[in-house]
Amino acid sequence: MLRRLLQPFWVLLAIIFLIEAWLWDHLEPIVARIVAAIPLRSLKHWLAARIETLSPALTLVVFAVPVVLLFPLKLLGMWLLMHHQWKLALVTIIFGKMAGVGITAFIFDVTRTKLLQMGWFAWLYEAVLTLRRRAAELVDPIKQRIREVVNDLFRGNTNGWSSRVVRQILRFRRSVQAR
């Protein structure tokens, strides 16, 4: 009984986790391209060389720096929400999230080898990868069912759906296709 009650919570948690993983996967190459475009090559090489000389524990500090630096931006987003500045708050929070994930992905790429030398970090890294696989396994059947329902709607198969809802969706689809 408890398992059935907690199932939606676990699915929501898995979806959030997969969104984070998707952001990580897609922002890291973008940040890498931006960093590659920065004309300060000597600064980039100097930074990589400095990280190579650090101990794994100090490398962890370097890895945590973006979290600390972007925290005020997240506070600003929350302050804007409290003052009913919805659009600006949303832009601030999304920018902070994307910048944080992108920069952290870049720094993790530079510091990964050193960080994985710490036993607890290597264990945590493997645990996160395992959680990611499990989250995908949990969410994949739901994603497949959503795809099937959407495909049925676009083909006109209502299968018990309210005909009014289906007509509105099909009308919207035709108007988008006509553009």
Q: Could you tell me which residues come within 8 angstroms of residue 97 by beta carbon, excluding any fewer than 6 positions away?
A: 23
Cα 62 to Cα 108: distance, rounded to the nearest angstrom: 9
Which pLDDT value is given to residue 80?
92
Which pLDDT value is given to residue 83?
92
Q: 129: which DSSP letter? A: H
CB distance 138 to 14 below 8 Å:
yes
Tens digits of residue pLDDT in 146-168: 777 777 767 766 555 566 666 77
Average pLDDT over all residues of the chain: 79
- Full-model pTM: 0.60
Tens digits of residue pLDDT in 5-35: 766 777 777 777 777 777 777 776 776 677 6
